[in-house]
Amino acid sequence: MTPLSNLIKGQAYGLGFDLVGIATLGPAQTAVANDEWLEKGYAGEMAYLHRGAAKRRDTRLPFAGATSAIVVGLDYGGRSPSGPVARYARGDDYHDLMVRKLDALHVSIEVAAGHDVVGKAYVDTGPILERDLARRAGLGWFGKNTNLLNPGLGSFFFIGALLIGLDVEPDAPFDEDRCGTCTRCIDACPTGALVEPRVLDATRCISYLTIEAKFEIPIEFHDAIGSLIYGCDICQEVCPYNIKFAQELKVPEFEPRAAIAGKDADTLARDILAMNDEEFRVAFRGSPMKRAKLRGLRRNAAVVLDNMGGKS
């Protein structure tokens, strides 16, 4: 490990990241698979995935002049109990927090280099196949539930990348597949969204149906949604690596906000249905849950209450 790469990793861990690896930018190994996934219609209404498809084929394209990626992981507490809201969305928006941390890392790299370094932070906000980069940076392998799995952390972590115009010694890619013959995630998915190992039909996924989809949720999925109002963690919860290695929540910003904390599905669903637009804005300011908008959350809440016998 060179002094520069060692310094970068030290700074990243100092900023609170749980994982950090370095990759040289170039053609994405999963580009063909991504194109095939889009062609099969598995992206559903997520048209932005089609618009950015060309740039996703090569990680040098999203940001001109970048040659290396510092890829990080930030844990969000897989030991937290299950609930009506997926663990990642209970607190503040991870995009904002991670971009701030990556921007701080960028500054520290420029100080170490002694000159300006072009760079840009990406956290689910650009045309990048982040899992591809993360595997290339040695952070883990693709689980059969399509999540990136780290052998000592599981999968309850966010992925971010800082693309920089600086040649930094890369880490060895993670080439192993440690899922073996296990199919717990596939077997546990209540809607059959995992159509084969490492292939997700998003149009059947509860996370997609309760977050990304703008239409009414097809009746065939209502029972499977159960008490889930926003997102789903089932395929992660049953994974042996998460059962063994998931961490306690340690990032204060990811603690459940007041609108969610301590509420069961029935209470939260009724609260959401009773909210007006201003109450929604106040309760979920800076929350990932704003993505579904109040209309989407009301739709989800109505399905959950119906599942619980609340016909009224």
| Alpha-carbon gap, residue 181 to 137, rounded angstroms | 25
Active-site option among 93, 96, 103, 124: 124
| Alpha-carbon gap, residue 307 to 238, rounded angstroms | 23
- Beta bridge mates, 23: 69
Extract the tokens encoding 33: 């698979």
Confirm whether 124 is a catalytic residue.
Answer: yes
CB neighbourhood size of 143 (10 A) = 24
* Phi, psi at 115, each rounded to 5°: -160, 170
Q: Active-site positions? A: 124
